[in-house]
C-alpha cells in the first residue's frame, strides 16, 4: 500500500508521515530531502539553482547517502530546494528514485509513506491513500520560526513569513508538477490542530481506505 502525503511547507506533513509510517510499519521517505540535497549540492559545487543544467546534474548525483546530511534540515536548504524544484530536469531525475522506493519499500515493509509536494499528483497518482496537509500561511510561518529558534538559529518573523509566501508562490505556480491537491485527496487543514489531532484524523482516513 502506498500513502501519498502532500502539502506546503510547515503544514505538519513530515511529522504526520513519520508517525503514520511508524504506526503502520511502513517505510518512510521524505522526498523533500531529495530536493534539499540537490540545493545543497549545487551550493557546495558553486552552481546556481536557477541554472537548469547545473541543477539537473546535481539531481543526477543524489544518492540515498546524501539524505543523511544534517545541512539538509536548514532553512537555507529549503529555499534552495524550492528554487531547484522548478527545473523540469531535476524533477525528472528524482522521479524514478521516488517511484522505486514506493514500489519496493526497503526492509521488506508492507507499504510506503511518501511525503512531498507532488506525490499524489505525479509520483504516485495511483496511491491507495492521498492526503493533502495544509494550513494558513501565518500559522505555518509561526511554526517554522519556532522550529528554527529551537535549532538555535537567529530568526526574524517577518522574513520567515515573506520567504514562506515566496516559496508557496514558486511551488504553486511552477509549470512542472505544481503544488495542488490531487482530485481524490483527503484535505487536512491543520491550522487549528495540534500534532496529535492531525495524526488521529489522518489515521482514521488511512484506515478507512485500508478497509
CATH classification of the domain holding 14: 3.40.50.300
Instruction: Please report the pLDDT score of residue 153 as a whole number.
Output: 87
Closest CA to 203 of 16, 57, 76, 11: 16
Q: What are phi and psi of 69, to 5 degrees?
A: -70, 120
Contacts of 74 (CB under 8 A, 6+ apart): 153
Q: What is the per-residue pLDDT for 140? A: 97
Taking a C-beta distance cutoff of 8 angstroms, is the pair 79, 95 a contact?
Answer: no
Tens of pLDDT along the chain (211 residues)?
Answer: 999 999 999 999 999 999 999 999 999 999 999 999 999 999 999 998 889 999 999 999 998 889 999 999 888 898 899 888 889 999 999 998 999 999 999 999 999 999 999 999 999 999 999 999 999 999 999 999 999 899 888 889 999 999 999 999 988 998 888 999 999 999 999 999 999 999 999 999 999 998 6
Looking at residue 1, what is its pLDDT?
94
Query: Which pLDDT does position 79 carry in this prediction?
Result: 87
Residue whose C-alpha cell is 489531532: 197
pLDDT of residue 86: 87
- Count of C-beta atoms within a 10 Å radius of residue 76: 13
Torsion of CA 133, 136, 140, 141, to 10 degrees: 150
* Residue 89 confidence (pLDDT): 92
Task: Residue 189: give the domain boundaries.
Answer: 2-210
How many structural domains does the chain have? 1
CA–CA dist 52, 48 (Å, integer): 8
Amino acid at each position: 500500500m502506498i500513502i501519498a502525503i502532500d502539502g506546503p511547507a510547515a503544514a505538519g506533513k513530515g511529522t504526520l508521515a513519520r508517525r503514520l509510517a511508524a504506526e503502520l510499519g511502513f517505510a518512510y521517505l521524505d522526498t523533500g530531502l531529495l530536493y534539499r540535497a540537490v540545493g545543497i549540492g549545487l551550493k557546495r559545487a558553486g552552481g546556481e539553482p536557477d541554472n537548469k543544467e547545473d541543477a539537473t546534474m546535481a539531481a543526477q548525483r543524489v544518492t540515498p547517502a546524501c539524505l543523511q546530511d544534517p545541512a539538509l534540515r536548514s532553512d537555507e536548504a529549503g529555499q534552495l530546494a524550492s528554487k531547484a524544484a522548478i527545473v523540469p530536469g531535476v524533477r525528472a531525475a528524482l522521479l524514478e528514485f521516488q517511484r522505486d522506493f514506493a514500489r519496493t519499500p526497503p526492509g521488506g515493509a508492507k507499504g510506503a509513506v511518501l511525503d512531498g509536494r507532488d506525490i499524489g499528483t505525479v509520483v504516485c497518482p495511483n496511491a491507495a491513500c492521498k492526503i493533502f496537509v495544509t494550513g494558513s500561511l501565518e500559522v505555518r510561518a509561526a511554526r517554522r520560526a519556532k522550529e528554527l529558534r529551537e535549532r538555535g538559529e537567529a530568526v526574524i518573523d517577518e522574513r520567515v513569513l515573506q520567504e514562506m509566501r515566496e516559496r508557496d508562490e514558486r511551488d504553486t505556480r511552477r509549470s512542472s508538477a505544481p503544488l495542488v491537491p490531487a482530485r481524490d485527496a483527503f484535505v487536512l487543514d491543520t491550522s487549528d490542530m495540534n500534532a496529535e489531532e492531525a495524526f488521529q484524523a489522518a489515521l482514521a482516513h488511512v484506515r478507512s481506505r485500508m478497509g
